[in-house]
A and B are shown apart, each in its own frame.
Chain A
Amino acid sequence: MDKSPEEIPFHNRDQQNVLVMLEEAQYEAGCVSEARIAEVAESLDVSQSEVYGVATFYSFLSVKPLGRNVIRVCKSLPCYLKNSRMIIESIAAELGIKPGETTPDMKFSFELTNCIGGCDKAPAMLINSDVHGDLTPEKIAQILKSYD
């Protein structure tokens, strides 16, 4: 499948910054807004639909506003074996929202996720970029209190 130089498609290497810039937006603003998508597209000479496609592909990017703190509880097998369900229930009870929802005061978004590489401390969850492991329902209230 060797191609002659003419046939090799043109690569806009600036495009590599699409994901980098969307990640920045997500960390800064808690979401990737439409305005941001347009800006990124414009500045890197990539179509808006392409940028939108990237923004919706990755689970850590969100086009809808998320809460100031994003909780991601692991539900994969090793954590499930260690009662991740009870953790999910106690967070739901504590915050009064279900997975997939955000508290009305925009303090927390609550999501479920797959293995976060903390199975040695199962059940585990991420809040923003912090790992919390060896969770018990009793620990939840205290952990949530440490975020504002």
Chain B
Amino acid sequence: MPERRVILKNCGVIDPRRMETFLNNDGFKALTKALNEMTPDSVIETIKASGLRGRGGAGFPCGLKWELARKAPGDEKFVICNADEGEVGTFKDRYILENDPFSLIEGIAIAAYALGARQAYIYLRAEYHYLLELLTKAIAQTKEGGFLEHVDIQIREGAGAYVCGEESALMDSIEGKRGEVRYRPPFPPTQGLWEKPTVINNVETMMNIPQIVLNGADWFNQIGTDRSKGTKVFSVAGDVDRPGVYELEMGSQLKELVVDLAQAKKVKMLQIGGATGKIIPHTMMDTPLSFETILGAGAITVLDESRNIVDAVYHTMEFLAEESCGKCAPCREGTEALFGIMEKFNRGEGTERDIRHLEDLANAMMPSSLCGLGQAAPIPVVDSLQHFRSEYEDRIKQKQGGAAK
């Protein structure tokens, strides 16, 4: 399957600084349709029927989240767009923000209407401060155009913390606090920002909303696989000739993305979903990309045959140990310990016992960590041990002075 630009259709086509160019490409038609021809409930029904699932990594059904928040008691509700994009290897949201801020604003405005929220926030990571002006101007133009009578959209900036991409930490950060993960339940749809019902969605999720409202749930339903509807936007980096952002129908093969589009050669392994994502060998490149198989937020880092797996995992664990927020012990201690052992292997001092230690740590951390970071942090270690165990063993042999490949 070739590239299929559905939600990136305006990228490179419109001028993100001029709303007229957006209006000339069906801009705000979906919002106008929602406001004038649909009730909030019918918008939510449409999103539910479309089967859209969150693009921020977890894949939670979008319409269901909206319905929970709409039904939650309380007059004051919030919509948040998660533009924190901190996962290693991810830059698709940046590409969207840079090229089509108006569709994003349209999606947020529709969400606010469906929810009955009068206030919405875009949480923009500090690293994207250079996009603040563009976004601010796009919101101002939209407001002047009369499209935001029902909702105020404000931008809140992060200040450099990976964990603030996690939804509850993000809300604490908007509240002006340290970005710490909250204990759950309650979940955001019932008690989110200032304990009010809140819908939080990824940038790419929001981008799907106008298309679904405009073209209908049935249209969307026909794209993709059984349990993964629509298209997905991928960021491909690493050992490829054409790194970049690509949009493909859900269910497309990894090979099509990495080899045909991004032009990877002599692939050895792929990290899918960033630092907390899965590591797979090149032999699995016919895997379809979907929630049922592998997806994450769509970040793909390619390593070719010249690369060393232990080294890559070591770097990944360094990231996770640094970014663990430290709130819960299994992750705080566990990521440090995993990193420590990987460091040992990297120095060529790892032992058989260390491998068992890695496995024990992984088993302990996954079920007991408070948020997705600690729960997923052992994945790179576990996956690399499954697919590339011999590379660990070679390092041990090297140390013992034995013959290593």
Contact = CB atoms under 8 A, between A and B. Distances in A.
Contact of A11 (B128, B157, B194, B239): B194
Contacts, number: 130
A113 B161 CA distance: 10
A93 interface: no
A103 interface: no
A74 to B, nearest CB: 9
Interface string A8-43: 110101011111101100100000000000000000
Nearest to A121: B243
Contacts of A81: 238-239, 301, 303, 307
Interface string A59-96: 11100000000000000111011000000000000000
Interface residues of B, number: 52
Contact of A77 (B88, B127, B160): B88
Interface residues of A, number: 42
A116 interface: yes
Given A77-B301, A119-B89, A57 B161 contact: yes
Interface residues of chain B: helix, strand, loop or mixed (majority): mixed
B226 interface: no
A22 B239 CA distance: 39
B91 A58 contact: no
A120 B177 contact: no
Contacts of B156: 16, 19-20
Nearest to B94: A117
B227 to A, nearest CB: 29
B235 A120 contact: yes
Which 7 A-B pairs give the minimum distances between C-beta atoms? A58-B159, A60-B160, A59-B160, A119-B237, A18-B176, A57-B178, A78-B237
Interface of A: 1, 8-9, 11, 13, 15-20, 22-23, 26, 46, 50, 53-54, 57-61, 76-78, 80-81, 113-122, 126, 129-131
10 contacts: A15-B175, A17-B176, A59-B160, A61-B159, A76-B315, A77-B271, A119-B238, A120-B244, A121-B243, A129-B129
